[in-house]
Amino acid sequence: MSKDVDDRKSTSDVVYFLEGNIVSWLLQKLKVVALSSREEEYIAAATVVFQGVCLGRLLGDLTGKERVVHNVDDKSTISLWKNPVRHDRRTNIDTRYQYLRECVKESKIDVNYICTDDQLADILTKSLERQKFTEMRRRIGVQAVK
């Protein structure tokens, strides 16, 4: 996730795979300014989860398996999604972003922790060293055209 230095709004990113192949990706500037990194991660995830649920429904129609897995590199954000009661001091997150919690609660999506080094969507927003960029590009299946 990166921030616009002028308006301080972050950019969310997601890459969806099916059987190891990219089926969709999204890079989107958030519509609001987050007051903390936890809130920023939460809002970014809520922004992309709707697309994931829609893809899950399509996948369900095609294969009978509807659940989508979201790999997230922030443990406190995952904890907030799965167990909101534990966070008495959480930031005041707008009601429209509570859809994410409902999706987790109703098992429409699975949320897994993934190490930041393995977060493939980072290729969309982060400035990576050449070697890291080349490795990420290879892992998402993008090849140089010759």
- Percentage of residues of the chain with pLDDT beyond 90: 2
pTM (2 d.p.): 0.65
| E-strand stretches of the chain | 2-3, 10-18, 21-29, 68-72, 109-113
**pLDDT tens digits, residue range 54-80?**
888 888 888 877 778 888 887 877 887
pLDDT tens-digit map of 5-36: 566 677 778 888 888 888 888 887 777 777 77
Q: Could you tell me which of 21, 23, 13, 68 has the C-alpha nearest to residue 45?
A: 13
Hey, where are the domains in the chain?
2-140
Does domain 2-140 fall under CATH 3.30.420? My reply is yes
How, if at all, do strands 109-113 and 68-72 pair? parallel
Structure tokens at 89: 């001091």
pLDDT band of 88, cuts 50, 70, 90: very low
